[in-house]
Amino acid sequence: MTSLNIWELAKEKLRENQEKAMEIDEKLEDDGNAMSVNEIKRRHESVVIICGSQNCGKSSLILRFLERNENPKMTIGLEYTYGRRTRGNNKDVGHLWELGGGSRLSSLLSIPLTPQNIEIASLVIVLDLTKPHELWITAEKLIEGTRARINDVLREVNRLTPTVHDRLLANAKARIAGHSDLTLCDPFPIPIAFVGAKYDEFQNFESDDRRQICKAMRFLAHHYAANLLFYSSKMENLAVRGRALLSHLAFSTANSKGISTDHNKPLFVPPGQDSFEDIGAPPLPQGSFTSLRASQPIALWREAINEMFPQKEAKEQTGDDLTEDPLFVEPQIDKLVEQKRRDLEMYVKQKRERQAAEERIKLKLK
């Protein structure tokens, strides 16, 4: 399937959804039903955004969820697909958006995060466990970028529907309702999950490194009232759990049961099932923080992780020459690219000839 066909399907699905919403609206007016269109829409549609570290298995996670036996391709920018589920006479649709490029392209989140779907959106941040020097900074930048976009949407929405912000806040707190750490946590405005990828390689790390990385991941998840699971497409039990997570976010199916916090095993922690007391303090010498930072646990963990694994942004990985990939065939653009390539080759050739001529003249003058 070409990229063009995917976008055509996306447009078709958008038209179908708009028509469905209009039909529901008309039915509500006829029946005098008190339930809003948005409340009904939330029962049958969802938007799941998958982002995170480069080349860590985001596309494989999506393909496994959709039960597609395909080889994953490099994600360029923001790519769209969708999944369907039929329940009786109801058809549920999960819109899946995958953001490539690590945290560099977080501005593209403005496309899936819109006023129309902010209440049906969720976020999955996939982090490469084998690159602890990029783990925290990648998560932090994606969280900041997503939160900034959500705030922009809420400012726009609140002019017409002030209750949207209140509903998001109530739903966020409900994920960790009744927990003793509620006042210390910062529940993310939309449902969120952290997925630690490449566990098949990570399990071979030194025990102490695994312990500290696991504690940091647990802290991030608990702080934001998020799901946490470790994943590998090469380990069937973890692949099944990853598929269950996307199903839970996309179709509101039951979340996987159980909890695993042992650093010698793949982590799995649903929202609100962990605690700061169980996670423990960050591994830094006592007295190394200012009183201001001591009042902010996330600042402590940021400093601790940076002490153990100095954080650095991932370098851009462009991969193969995409102009040669048949998936991105565009005849008019390809002709322009080919013309520019010929012009460049001619320019280089002429420059070399001029340099050779100048060298010959210098030799004669000598």
pTM of the model: 0.76
| pLDDT, tens digit, 9 for 90 and up, residues 78-121 | 999 999 998 877 889 999 999 988 888 888 999 999 999 999 99
Residue with the bigger pLDDT between 73 and 325: it is 73
Residues 6+ away with beta carbon under 8 Å from 336: none
Question: Where in the chain are the domains?
Answer: 3-308, 330-365
Mean pLDDT of 280-308: 74
**Other Cβ atoms closer than 10 A to 292:** 8
Considering only CA atoms, which of 103, 85, 106 is closest in space to residue 95?
85
Name the β-bridge partners of 123: 49, 192
Mean pLDDT of 155-184: 91
Average pLDDT, the chain: 84
Q: Is the separation of the CB atoms in 141 and 103 below 8 Å?
A: yes
How confident is the model at residue 29, as a pLDDT?
45
How confident is the model at residue 325, as a pLDDT?
57
**CATH topology (fold) of 3-308:** Rossmann fold (3.40.50)
Residue with the bigger pLDDT between 274 and 357: it is 274
Residue 170 CA to residue 8 CA, distance in Å, equals 36
Residue 171 CA to residue 156 CA, distance in Å, equals 20
Confidence check: pLDDT of 36 > 60: no
